[in-house]
């Protein structure tokens, strides 16, 4: 009984740590995108980003395109492609929608 509780607690800590690291990576990614955009694209005449939400949106767009390209080229089976379509693409869409809500 005691080992089951310990395993459940360890799993909860692992999930919370994973979510925390994911949220930190979102903030760092947005900061880096926002900074690089301002340093290298704005001087070329590209409009500046209006905030970190736009930077997060650009990051998720690049992630979507990268995953899409990897799924098209590296998938060895049709099941791998189905997993990407069923799991990853809806997640990306929902994440993009949430970021879009921050921009409005």
Domains in the chain: boundaries: 25-103
> Per-residue pLDDT for 83 more than 80?
no
Q: Hunting for tokens 């979507």 — which residue is that?
A: 64
Least reliable range by pLDDT among 19-23, 46-50, 53-57, 83-87: 83-87
pLDDT-above-90 percentage for the chain? 10
Contact in structure between 56 and 101 (CB atoms under 8 Å): no
Give the C-alpha distances (Å, rounded to integers) separating 56 from 18, 19, 80, 91. 19, 17, 27, 15
> Per-residue pLDDT for 4 more than 70?
no
Average pLDDT over residues 13-17: 86
Average pLDDT over residues 5-33: 81
Has this prediction a pTM greater than 0.75? no
């Amino acid at each position: 009984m005691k080992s089951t509780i310990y395993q459940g607690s360890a799993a909860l800590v692992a999930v919370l740590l994973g979510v925390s690291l994911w949220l930190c990576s979102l903030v760092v990614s947005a900061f880096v995108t926002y900074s690089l955009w301002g340093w290298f694209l704005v001087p070329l005449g590209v409009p500046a980003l209006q905030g970190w939400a736009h930077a997060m949106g650009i990051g998720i767009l690049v992630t979507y395109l990268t995953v899409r390209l990897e799924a098209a080229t590296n998938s060895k089976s049709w099941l791998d492609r189905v997993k990407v379509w069923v799991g990853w693409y809806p997640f990306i869409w929902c994440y993009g929608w949430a970021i879009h809500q921050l921009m409005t």
